[in-house]
A and B are shown apart, each in its own frame.
Chain A
Amino acid sequence: MSNLTNERSEKKLITGHIQADVSAIHAYLSNTEDFKTQSLATNIGACTLVYLESLAKKEFIQSHIILTLIDTEPSTIESLATASGAKSSSELYVIGQALLEGYCVVLFENHAKAYLITAAQTHSRSIDEPSNEQIIKGSHEGFVESLSTNLYLLRYRIKSPQLKVKYLSLGTLTNTTVAMVYMEKLADPNIVKECEKRLQSIHLEHLYSTGEIDEMIEEHPLSPFPQTLHTERTDRAVSYLMEGKINILVDGNPMALVLPITFFSFYQSPDDYNNRWITGSFYRLVRMISFMLAISLPAIYIAIVSFHSEVLPPGILYSVKVSLTYVPFPPIVEAIAMQLILELLKEAAIRLPSPIAQTIGIVGGLVIGTAVVEAHLVSHTMIVVIGLTAIASFTAPLNEFGTSLRILGFPTMIAAALFGFFGISMMMMVIFIHLCKIETLGVPFFAPFGPFRGRDGKKDIFLRLPVWKTGKAGNKQSFIQRWKLP
């Protein structure tokens, strides 16, 4: 890291002697072997092209740069450069960086300036639907690895002069381009300023993904809840831009990092807006209920069987107790073991190719599920409870949130095993107090519920009322501006 900064500050210049300069540039690039040179004789003197063959497009250099250099008959080098739209520099550092970005560098004999012509090759994956955020109805576009394609996807959807892109270069070794995208008039200027300040304060040697940026700028590293939202869906990213939020895109990463984000964003899906509003509202409510279930269902079960079995009427109590009779473990052990088995199965199935993953599903679901009950290791009811909990946690449209919920299930279970219903209440209080406490970039995480904004809340948070009702059409202030504080 210090080496690089030294090189920058030394300001080494090129001399104008092709041989010496080429070897200086070559040395700057650690004498790499994909470094190519090509000497030409033009009618304004001898020149040499320098490029990295792994980055530059050879056909382009051949057909455009070389042919132009040989064929045209300009009087001076300058006029040639302006005609081909080249940048010029004599600083070794700038030339080296340009080569690393796929530029072709043209050096002339006895001319202490190099001309940089862009010739980068671009390879990008075709735009297809992200597999982790699938929807039924609606757009099937997802972000790809190339930053320029991603920006194109955003611009293509928002044809507005307000859409603003700010570039930053992060990572002292990788020099990754990071783009901050927002709507100039909708985004809160203070939030934008704060976000930019935080981005600029990042000092990393290498930056690969949005996840690292997330960790570097989030406010509550100890919180179990994700405080920024990662999405691969372009329609999702665009809808957040229109709410006045900021998207951060990292070159080489098919994700947009959205901030500031609120809790309820994790429970919205583009599907809601493509279906009829009644359907959309219904599924939103189902997801909200699933949030509570995912955290508390196993805990409630544990509390009931170990402390308050009188809550169940005799009929149900009998069948629960019968299934518990031969189980040698306390319910908390059963529950934690089953949750861990579930996580194991999930983790194993993720990385396997899909035909094998199905086998895992069958082995896990059918074989372990039935065998464990028949061997009297776990009770029937526990299997039902854990199954329901897992399904509830998977309904969160964004996977990372569901994982947070399952993790939060563990302390709640322990609290229930120690203190019964009282423990659950206390744990729920802690979780919700925490949700009310955290803020991202000055926006309360639990808005619009804590602080309560009844009008916004019912329109597009718990329910998904029709668009003409939500006031999204022609509203002057973005949600973020309204929710800021208190």
Chain B
Amino acid sequence: MNISITKNQLFFLIIKTQIGIGLLSLPSVIQHSAGGDAWISVLGSGLAIQLLILVYWHLCKRYPGMNLSEMTIVFFGSYIGRSVNAIYYCFFVIIAGYACTLYVRLIKVWLLPLTPGWVLLLLIIGVSIYLALEDLRVIARFYQLAAVLFVLLFVISLATFSNDIHLSNILPVGQSDISQIISGSEKTFFAMLGFEVILYFSAQVKDTPSGILKTITMANWFVTLFYSYFVFICLIGFSQEALSKVKEPVLFLLRGLTFQLFDRLDLIFLTIWIIPMSATIVSYFCLAGKSLATSKKGYQRLVWISGLLVLLVGSYLYKQENMESISQWIEYGYLLMIVAVPLLMWILSFLFRSRHKRRLT
């Protein structure tokens, strides 16, 4: 079950989970609050995540070779620990279902307006399960391979510089209040989620704690810079007015470009973007499996069950007209599960230090 991975693989596991569907609509979302300084918000959010992953790292360092689901049992005892894990399981399934819903909606709007949603949902879940059933090493291998696509996406994004660029859109730097920038950061935070894989996967990395810290820090700043780059090109490509009207500004930015051989770069971009989006869902399947199962067989069975649940959750959410309130609830859930619980455990780890040491040895 606990096959070791390299820290290099951990890097790709983190970035592939983090970079997903959130980025496409991010620039217009944070632009609402932070205006021309939205790119600073992204950096601020990266900083906040950095603090959080420091806590994660310290927690993982203190309980080496343990992932979150094993830690909860050490902290809260067998019964409460297991129920906490079950809550985590439900949480990950809901997140996967939510991500699937956004994903299917995006595909329907941009690529396949007539195909029924459940067919797309089934396809996405099927492919994700095909990968999620394997052990972490295989998943990491695929992520490494797929990371090459980021280079391709970056190259495609360079083409947007042939549009009209208005650097004045972001000037003067610091035009928004600090509070606005912070509220922008808060929104970015929810688009950059996925670093919680550290809590589950870093236990399997064969390396020194400082090596792991370096890797997760690098992963975080890679993602932060990648995000701020895309936010930046959207800010200079669109006026604030236009940016607030479009839903997926990153795609719209590419839409206007024309070349001799092909048009509609946005469709090509989205076709490639499908793979990172699916990777995010694979990661959540994997997290869901790891949060409850301990053996390989149990894990695989759990992934199948999660597939079914995600299908149900996804098709329920897909039918909802108004996603606003649901997103709000999911954000609260995030704060509780990803921030509050690990922080609590971190603080408890200071109190229970001696007791746990005895138990671990």
A and B are partners in one complex rather than unrelated chains: yes
Interface residues of A (CB under 8 A from B): 307-308, 310-313, 316, 419-422, 424-426, 428-430, 432-433, 436-437, 444, 446, 449-452, 485-486
Of the A-B pairs whose beta carbons lie under 8 Å apart in the complex, a sample of 30, sorted by A's number, is A307-B111, A308-B111, A308-B267, A310-B267, A311-B264, A311-B268, A312-B262, A313-B261, A316-B261, A419-B112, A419-B120, A420-B112, A421-B270, A425-B274, A425-B275, A426-B124, A429-B275, A429-B278, A432-B142, A432-B145, A432-B146, A436-B141, A436-B142, A436-B145, A444-B141, A446-B141, A446-B145, A450-B141, A450-B145, A486-B6
Given contacts A312-B262, A485-B137, contact A422 B111 (CB under 8 A): yes
Q: A451 to B144, Cβ gap below 8 A?
A: yes
15 further A-B contacts with Cβ under 8 Å, apart from A313-B262, A422-B112, A449-B145, are A310-B267, A311-B262, A419-B115, A419-B120, A421-B271, A426-B123, A426-B124, A428-B275, A429-B127, A436-B145, A437-B134, A450-B141, A451-B6, A452-B141, A486-B140
Q: A437 to B107, Cβ gap below 8 A?
A: no
Given contacts A430-B130, A432-B146, contact A421 B120 (CB under 8 A): no
Decide if B259 is an interface residue (CB 8 Å cutoff): yes
Decide if B5 is an interface residue (CB 8 Å cutoff): yes
**Which B residue's beta carbon lies closest to that of A439?**
B138
Proximity string of chain B (253-266) to chain A, C-beta cutoff 8 Å, 1 when within and 0 when not: 00000111111100
A177 and B317 CA atoms in complex are apart in Å by 64
Query: Contact partner of B138 among A311, A420, A436, CB < 8 A?
Result: A436
Q: A450 to B112, Cβ gap below 8 A?
A: no
Interface residues of B (CB under 8 A from A): 3-6, 8-9, 107, 111-112, 115, 120, 123-124, 127, 130-131, 134, 137-138, 140-142, 144-146, 258-264, 267-268, 270-272, 274-275, 278
Q: A422 to B146, Cβ gap below 8 A?
A: no
A444 and B134 CA atoms in complex are apart in Å by 13
Query: Contact partner of A311 among B8, B137, B263, CB < 8 A?
Result: B263
Query: Contact partner of B274 among A426, A444, A452, A486, CB < 8 A?
Result: A426
Query: Contact partner of B112 among A307, A424, A428, CB < 8 A?
Result: A307
Complex contacts, B261 vs chain A, CB 8 Å: 313, 316
> Chain B contact residues: over half helix, strand or loop, or mixed?
helix
Distance in angstroms from B245 CB to nearest chain A CB is 21
Q: B8 to A452, Cβ gap below 8 A?
A: yes
Q: A419 to B275, Cβ gap below 8 A?
A: no
Complex contacts, A446 vs chain B, CB 8 Å: 141, 145
Q: A450 to B111, Cβ gap below 8 A?
A: no
Query: Contact partner of A452 among B123, B138, B145, CB < 8 A?
Result: B145
**Which A residue's beta carbon lies closest to that of B145?**
A450
Query: Contact partner of B267 among A421, A428, A429, A450, CB < 8 A?
Result: A421
Q: A451 to B111, Cβ gap below 8 A?
A: no
Q: B131 to A433, Cβ gap below 8 A?
A: yes
Complex contacts, B270 vs chain A, CB 8 Å: 421
Complex contacts, B140 vs chain A, CB 8 Å: 451, 486
Given contacts A422-B107, A422-B274, contact A313 B130 (CB under 8 A): no
Q: B275 to A486, Cβ gap below 8 A?
A: no
Complex contacts, A312 vs chain B, CB 8 Å: 262-263
A311 and B254 CA atoms in complex are apart in Å by 12
Q: A311 to B141, Cβ gap below 8 A?
A: no
Complex contacts, A432 vs chain B, CB 8 Å: 142, 145-146
Q: B142 to A450, Cβ gap below 8 A?
A: yes
A444 and B258 CA atoms in complex are apart in Å by 41
A412 and B269 CA atoms in complex are apart in Å by 19
Q: B262 to A421, Cβ gap below 8 A?
A: no
**Which A residue's beta carbon lies closest to that of B5?**
A486
Q: B141 to A451, Cβ gap below 8 A?
A: yes
Complex contacts, B3 vs chain A, CB 8 Å: 486
A451 and B5 CA atoms in complex are apart in Å by 10
8 pairs of A and B residues whose beta carbons are closest in the complex: A450-B141, A425-B274, A421-B271, A436-B141, A452-B144, A450-B145, A436-B142, A433-B131
Distance in angstroms from B100 CB to nearest chain A CB is 14
Distance in angstroms from B115 CB to nearest chain A CB is 7
Complex contacts, A420 vs chain B, CB 8 Å: 111-112
Given contacts A316-B261, A425-B275, A426-B127, contact A486 B144 (CB under 8 A): no
A389 and B134 CA atoms in complex are apart in Å by 32
Distance in angstroms from A64 CB to nearest chain B CB is 61
Q: A433 to B9, Cβ gap below 8 A?
A: no
Complex contacts, A422 vs chain B, CB 8 Å: 107, 111-112, 120, 123, 271, 274
Complex contacts, B120 vs chain A, CB 8 Å: 419, 422
Distance in angstroms from B156 CB to nearest chain A CB is 13
Complex contacts, B142 vs chain A, CB 8 Å: 432-433, 436, 450
Distance in angstroms from B224 CB to nearest chain A CB is 23
Complex contacts, A429 vs chain B, CB 8 Å: 127, 131, 274-275, 278
Distance in angstroms from A449 CB to nearest chain B CB is 6
Complex contacts, B123 vs chain A, CB 8 Å: 419, 422, 426
A446 and B262 CA atoms in complex are apart in Å by 32
Complex contacts, A310 vs chain B, CB 8 Å: 263-264, 267
Complex contacts, B258 vs chain A, CB 8 Å: 313
Complex contacts, A451 vs chain B, CB 8 Å: 6, 9, 137, 140-141, 144
A200 and B165 CA atoms in complex are apart in Å by 69
Complex contacts, B278 vs chain A, CB 8 Å: 426, 429
Distance in angstroms from B92 CB to nearest chain A CB is 20
Given contacts A310-B267, A316-B261, contact A421 B144 (CB under 8 A): no
Distance in angstroms from B186 CB to nearest chain A CB is 32
A32 and B264 CA atoms in complex are apart in Å by 77
A307 and B264 CA atoms in complex are apart in Å by 13
A428 and B9 CA atoms in complex are apart in Å by 21
Q: Which of A425, A426, A485 has the most CB of B within 10 A?
A: A425
**Which A residue's beta carbon lies closest to that of B144?**
A452
Complex contacts, B107 vs chain A, CB 8 Å: 422
Q: A425 to B130, Cβ gap below 8 A?
A: no
Complex contacts, B263 vs chain A, CB 8 Å: 310-313
Complex contacts, A433 vs chain B, CB 8 Å: 127, 130-131, 142
Distance in angstroms from B280 CB to nearest chain A CB is 13
Complex contacts, B9 vs chain A, CB 8 Å: 451, 486
Q: B145 to A430, Cβ gap below 8 A?
A: no
**Which B residue's beta carbon lies closest to that of A435?**
B145
A446 and B138 CA atoms in complex are apart in Å by 11
Complex contacts, B124 vs chain A, CB 8 Å: 426
Distance in angstroms from B46 CB to nearest chain A CB is 25
Complex contacts, B260 vs chain A, CB 8 Å: 313
A308 and B267 CA atoms in complex are apart in Å by 8
Query: Contact partner of B271 among A316, A424, A485, A486, CB < 8 A?
Result: A424
Q: A425 to B271, Cβ gap below 8 A?
A: yes
Complex contacts, B267 vs chain A, CB 8 Å: 308, 310-311, 421
A85 and B148 CA atoms in complex are apart in Å by 65
Complex contacts, B8 vs chain A, CB 8 Å: 452
**Which A residue's beta carbon lies closest to that of B115?**
A419
Complex contacts, B271 vs chain A, CB 8 Å: 421-422, 424-425
A310 and B110 CA atoms in complex are apart in Å by 12
A428 and B130 CA atoms in complex are apart in Å by 13
Distance in angstroms from A412 CB to nearest chain B CB is 13
A420 and B274 CA atoms in complex are apart in Å by 13
Distance in angstroms from B157 CB to nearest chain A CB is 18
Complex contacts, A436 vs chain B, CB 8 Å: 138, 141-142, 145
Given contacts A425-B271, A426-B127, A444-B141, contact A313 B259 (CB under 8 A): yes
